[in-house]
Amino acid sequence: MKKKVAILTAALTAALLTVLALFALTGCRRAPLTPDENTVVIEAAADDEGKTLLSVMEELKAEGLLSFTVAGGMVTELNGTAQTTSSYWMLYTSDGENANEQWGTFEYEGERLGSAALGAGELTVKAGCLYIWSFESFGL
């Protein structure tokens, strides 16, 4: 009887550890959030630290989590929405060192983000910071 209890306990412990490991790995995934078709939110993970935003986006693209097009150094399409002559993808960040609120702000979940001072190819991400793409029209 003690042998059966020991085997059952070991099996349950192994199953629990497997579930916890899978849950932990899932938590590391940084799939971009798309609150609507005009907004893409990327939160940098710890393993993204030091990479450019563009390289993080390229990893997300390779994983099938994001689609985008870059032309002339600018992101011109995200998840199927392409810029027009009066609408563009604008980048905002919670990284205060790389944001300029005088160039514009974006409100997200009670936080005010400033317009990114650098483009996605030059902007080095910081773990925990938000990088938000917003599709905006300028009435030109």
23-54: pLDDT as tens digits: 333 334 456 777 778 999 999 999 999 999 99
- How many CA atoms does the CB half-sphere of 73 hold within 13 Å? 5
* DSSP structure class, residue 126: -
What does the pLDDT look like over 78-113, one tens digit per residue? Answer: 999 999 999 999 999 999 999 999 999 999 999 999
pTM of the model: 0.76
Q: What is the pLDDT of residues 53-81, one digit of tens each?
A: 999 999 999 999 999 999 988 999 999 99
Which positions ≥6 away from 105 have C-beta within 8 Å? 92, 112, 113, 114, 115
- Check if CATH label 1.20.120 holds for domain 31-137: no
